[in-house]
Amino acid sequence: MEQAPRKRKCDSDQSPTPVCIVHVDGLKYADTMVEPNKILLAFDFDHTIVDGNSDTWITGCLPDPLPVTLKQDYIKGQWTNYMRKVLAYLNDSGVTVGKLKARLKEMQLVEGMAELLCWLASEHDRFDVILVSDSNSLFIDWILQRVDLQHVFGHIFTNPATVDACGHVLLKPHHSHSCSRCPVNLCKGQVLREYVASQPCCFSSIVYVGDGANDLCPVLSLSCKDAVLPRKGYSLMRWIKELLSEDSTNVLPHIVPWDTGFEILQFLQRITGTT
């Protein structure tokens, strides 16, 4: 991704919703978020729910770093293909599925995320919670099982993974798409748009929580009544700043950078009047 794509101007906010300005890191953001009815809350997983990257975390099963020749096999935008090779290498090195699972269960959630997800589990009347991740279904299931929080997510959109009879992890792409800014196996923007279109009712707003460059595409689908919550210090925040610097007249979704799940919890409680 060489340059942040231009954010379209919001043309959906026809109502005279009062606009206030939120100041974040010295930048101004239009805040037109309306009082919600039912909100779609979409989470990324790596570096958002868990405090690390589950795909790279598993290499800790090995006594040594991955061979340089294997790392050089990575082609930009084709992470899933690379992960297949990493998983095969781990298997050849004697790392069983049991060891992978045990390693992943050691991953810690981001501070405050367990409290946030527990609160959301009791707020199904207000939120439809989904997960959109470029990890895979096995890793996500194992980690969420440990903390007993799978039930919080109504849908999990990720790369499907299974274990075959020989104990090999088989990894497939989530879908195919034509989006030029996303990895070939997953366009989170398309996932979000298709999910919203598939629902019988409209959401009052969408809140997207993420950290990475591949979270930018869904953010570009958001309107001024929605919100993006980029993790502070991670690349999504930098991409959003670049969008803002391109054209100061752009009306973006409400932007709420965060460090911990507690800040996300406070934001959600504020917009739903549940503080």
Task: Pick the piece of the chain touching Zn ion (CB under 5 A) from 53-61, 87-95, 176-184, 237-245.
Answer: 176-184
Minimum CB–partner distance for residue 132 and Mg ion (Å): 10
Contact partners, residue 197, CB within 8 Å, separation at least 6: none
**What are the tokens at 194?**
């298709």
Nearer to Zn ion, 170 or 179 (CB): 179
Task: Pick the piece of the chain touching Mg ion (CB under 5 A) from 2-10, 27-35, 37-45, 168-176.
Answer: 37-45
182 binds Zn ion (CB under 5 A): yes
211 binds, among Mg ion, Zn ion, none (CB under 5 to 8 A by kind): Mg ion
CA within 13 Å, CB half, 122: 8
Residue 200, SS3 per DSSP: coil
**Burial of residue 226 (number of CB atoms within 10 Å: 0-12, 13-18, 19+):** buried
Residues of this chain, 187-226, that bind Zn ion according to CB under 5 A: 187, 189, 217
Q: Which of 13, 25, 31, 44 is catalytic?
A: 44
Of the candidate residues 31, 55, 211, 226, the single one contacting Mg ion (CB under 5 A): 211
Place of tokens 């979704």: 253
DSSP 217: H
31 binds, among Mg ion, Zn ion, none (CB under 5 to 8 A by kind): none
d(CA 149, CA 163): 22
Q: Is 46 a catalytic residue?
A: yes
Measuring CA to CA, how many Å separate 172 from each of 10, 78, 127, 150, 156?
Answer: 36, 12, 29, 21, 15
Task: Pick the piece of the chain touching Mg ion (CB under 5 A) from 9-17, 25-33, 205-213, 252-260.
Answer: 205-213
- Which of 203, 255, 262 has the alpha carbon at shortest distance from 25? 255
Q: Is 44 a catalytic residue?
A: yes
Minimum CB–partner distance for residue 116 and Mg ion (Å): 16
Minimum CB–partner distance for residue 32 and Mg ion (Å): 27
Minimum CB–partner distance for residue 30 and Zn ion (Å): 24
The site for Mg ion (CB under 5 A) is made up of 44, 46-47, 211-212
Active site residues: 44, 46
